[in-house]
C-alpha cells in the first residue's frame, strides 16, 4: 500500500489495556484553565516512568462545562485504578488547587469511581464545606482568592494505551513537519491524547533490556546510527524515525486517531521527504489490541 508515494508497511501497532478518567478544569479566564491543565499533565508521557499518561483532550466554552465558565478537558491513563487515583489526587492538589480561580469536575459517568475531592478536602483544615447536588457531592475549600470547588469523586473507565505509528523520513526536519501535521489531525479526534512532548516521541522503546533493572530500552531497530550492529528497520535513504503514541478511551477512538494522523502525515509527506509509515509491535506479546495499518486505512 502507498499513499502519495509513501509506503505503508503491512504491519500492526500493538496496544494494551489501561484505565482512564476525564476531568474538566474551569477557571475565570480560559488562559488560567489552560495553565492548570498544562501543569497537571506535565511529566506524564509514559507509565514506564511517570505512573500516568495524560494530556489535554479539548478546550471548552461555558456551554460545555458544569459551572458555565471556560474550561479544559484532560484525559489521564494508568495501569490500575489505584495508581490512577494516586496520580489524580497529587496532580490536582499540586497543580489545579494551586492555580488561581480554578474548579474541577468529573468528565465521565461510569459505575467505577476514584477519589478526588474527598482526599483534597483536608487542605481546608476543617473549614471545608460539602454540598450535594442530586447524586453528586462537591467540596468547597477556602483559598486566598475565594473557594476551590472540587467534585468528591470522578469516574474511570477501561481504555487503550499505546496505539502508535512511526514516520520515517530523509531528514529530521521533514519528519518533524510531517509529525506536526499528524498531531494536529489527531487533536480533532475526541477521546484521544498523544502524551509525549508535542505529541511525538523520538525514544521509541522495546520490551526488555540487557540490563535487568530496566523493563524497556531503546528500539534499536529504528535507530539510524546503529544499522551495522543491529537488525535495522531504517532504510538507507532515511535518517530519522519518529513515533506518535496514542491513548484513547475506546479502541475505535485510537483507530480513528491513527487513521487521521497517518493520512495527515502522508498529505505533507512528499514535500517533507517521508518515505515510509510503519507500526510498533512486539509480536503480539504486549497487548491484545492490534491495529493493522492496511485495514484501518482501507
Query: How many CA within 13 A on the CB side of residue 255?
Result: 12
Q: How far apart are CA 269 and CA 106, in angstroms?
A: 39
| Same domain, residue pair 98 and 192 | no
Q: What would the pLDDT profile of 89-109 be if each residue is shown by its tens digit?
A: 999 999 999 999 999 999 999
Handedness of CA 280, 284, 288, 290 (dihedral sign): positive
CATH number at residue 52: 3.30.70.520
**Which residues span the domain enclosing 29?**
19-157
Q: How far apart are CA 180 and CA 35, in angstroms?
A: 22
What is the domain count for the chain? 2
Instruction: Tell me the pLDDT band of 160, cut-offs 50, 70 and 90.
Output: very high
In this structure, are residues 74 and 100 in contact, taking their beta carbons and an 8 Å threshold?
Answer: no
Average pLDDT over residues 43-68: 96
Q: What is the pLDDT of residue 227?
A: 67
Q: How far apart are CA 125 and CA 141, in angstroms?
A: 9
Q: Considering the chain, what is the average pLDDT of its residues?
A: 95
Q: How far apart are CA 53 and CA 266, in angstroms?
A: 27
Average pLDDT over residues 82-90: 98
The values of phi and psi at residue 112, to 5°, are -85, 125
| Same domain, residue pair 168 and 137 | no
Q: pTM of this prediction?
A: 0.94
Look at residue 235 and tell me whether its pLDDT is greater than 80. Answer: no
In this structure, are residues 92 and 59 in contact, taking their beta carbons and an 8 Å threshold?
Answer: no
Look at residue 8 and tell me whether its pLDDT is greater than 70. Answer: yes
Q: What is the pLDDT of residue 161?
A: 97
| Same domain, residue pair 36 and 72 | yes
| Same domain, residue pair 122 and 166 | no
| Same domain, residue pair 35 and 113 | yes
Amino acid at each position: 500500500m502507498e499513499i502519495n508515494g509513501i509506503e505503508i508497511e503491512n504491519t500492526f501497532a500493538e496496544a494494551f489495556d489501561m484505565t482512564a478518567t476525564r476531568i474538566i478544569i474551569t477557571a475565570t479566564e480560559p488562559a488560567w484553565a489552560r495553565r492548570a491543565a498544562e501543569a497537571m499533565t506535565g511529566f506524564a508521557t509514559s507509565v514506564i516512568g511517570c505512573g500516568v499518561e495524560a494530556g489535554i483532550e479539548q478546550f471548552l466554552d461555558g456551554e460545555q462545562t458544569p459551572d458555565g465558565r471556560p474550561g479544559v478537558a484532560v484525559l489521564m491513563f494508568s495501569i490500575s485504578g489505584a495508581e490512577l487515583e494516586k496520580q489524580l489526587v497529587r496532580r490536582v492538589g499540586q497543580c489545579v488547587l494551586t492555580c488561581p480561580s480554578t474548579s474541577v469536575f468529573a468528565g465521565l459517568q461510569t459505575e467505577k469511581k476514584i477519589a478526588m475531592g474527598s482526599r483534597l478536602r483536608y487542605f481546608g483544615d476543617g473549614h471545608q464545606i460539602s454540598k450535594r447536588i442530586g447524586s453528586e457531592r462537591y467540596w468547597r475549600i477556602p483559598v486566598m482568592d475565594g473557594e476551590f470547588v472540587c467534585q468528591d469523586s470522578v469516574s474511570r473507565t477501561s481504555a487503550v494505551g499505546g496505539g502508535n505509528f512511526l514516520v520515517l523520513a530523509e531528514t529530521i526536519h521533514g519528519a518533524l513537519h510531517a509529525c506536526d501535521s499528524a498531531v494536529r489531525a489527531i487533536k480533532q479526534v475526541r477521546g484521544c491524547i498523544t502524551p509525549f512532548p508535542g505529541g511525538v516521541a523520538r525514544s521509541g522503546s522495546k520490551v526488555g533490556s540487557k540490563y535487568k533493572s530496566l523493563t524497556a530500552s531503546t528500539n534499536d531497530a529504528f535507530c539510524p546510527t546503529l544499522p551495522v550492529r543491529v537488525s535495522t528497520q531504517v532504510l538507507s535513504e532515511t535518517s530519522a524515525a519518529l513515533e506518535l503514541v496514542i491513548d484513547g478511551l475506546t479502541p475505535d477512538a485510537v483507530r480513528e486517531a491513527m487513521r487521521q494522523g497517518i493520512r495527515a502525515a502522508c498529505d505533507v509527506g512528499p514535500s517533507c521527504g517521508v518515505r515510509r509509515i510503519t507500526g510498533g509491535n512486539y509480536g503480539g506479546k504486549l497487548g491484545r489490541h492490534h491495529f493493522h495499518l492496511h485495514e484501518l486505512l482501507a
